[in-house]
Structure 1
Amino acid sequence: MKFKALYAGVLVGLILLVLFSLGSGLWGGSDGLHWTEQLFSGVCHQLPNRTFTFMGELMAVNTRCFGIFSGLLAGWILIPVLKDMISEKKWPFICLLFAGLLQIIDYSGNLFLLWENTNSSRFLLGLPLGMFSSIVIADLFQSTK
């Protein structure tokens, strides 16, 4: 693996991203807008009915964003383990496209009242989108042959 320091830095950043997304339940409650909610306000709609709670407090991001962030971290952790399986292969990109398509299908089905997605389904569909996003860029961190 080349760029080990960069890989480690991104890993630390993703761990912090997931920890910060847990919100005021982890970092201590506040009466007003918590700093973690402010941190994510530009990237997440943070609707309370679409947000998990953690330690009795709403998380700083909605369930889909938390799934994506958790998936990014999981995929990043898997890069060294899967390095031979993903090196210069097309399947991670195809899986990423499929994960994106699942988001569109889920949103559309809910929009057209074909089904009602839940917080659990949003989280579970966000996981592969984040995971394959990390895995797709894994070739940047592999040794050249």
Structure 2
Amino acid sequence: MAGVDATEAIRRLEAEPVEGSRLDALQEAVTAGYYGDEDMQIVGVTTVPGGCIVTQPWGYAPDTPGVQKRLSVGAVCYGLYANAKSGNQGSIARNGVIEDSDLHPGGGLDPEDTPTPEEVLRSYLYQHNAVAYACAWAGLRPADARAVFGPPDIWVDLPQRDYWKD
């Protein structure tokens, strides 16, 4: 997400920090490869040059419409879900509105589109690298891989909502 730090992202999401035994249990569950529905409400948030990155290594929550809409008010977001079954999926949200979805970040240009010069360059530079493509699209410049691979600046618990609708 461009132009917004982790503190502001957490405020927009109305999220609460996850600490102590709950965070320890989550880390054990993720390491073991087993996590429950309640763990889908937990995301990591990290400030990076240009904005912040919201991650969930085991799920899709950061790419849901409800999260994207809340984060993008007055800003722009590029959502990415690295789906092991169907490949990388992306979405664009700007000022609280989902502008585009079912994108394939790092997958090359769509022959039916008329790309901008910036899009041609991004597609070439970040071919087969969805994370780098999404960061470049949003204007983020992470100094290292920590924002994506962890640990994030902070783990937070999202309020209970239907993030596919909200």
Q: Classify the TM-score, shorter chain.
A: under 0.3
TM-score normalised by the chain length of structure 1: 0.27
TM-score normalised by the chain length of structure 2: 0.25
Flag the structure with higher helix content.
1
Flag the structure with higher strand content.
2
Larger radius of gyration: 1
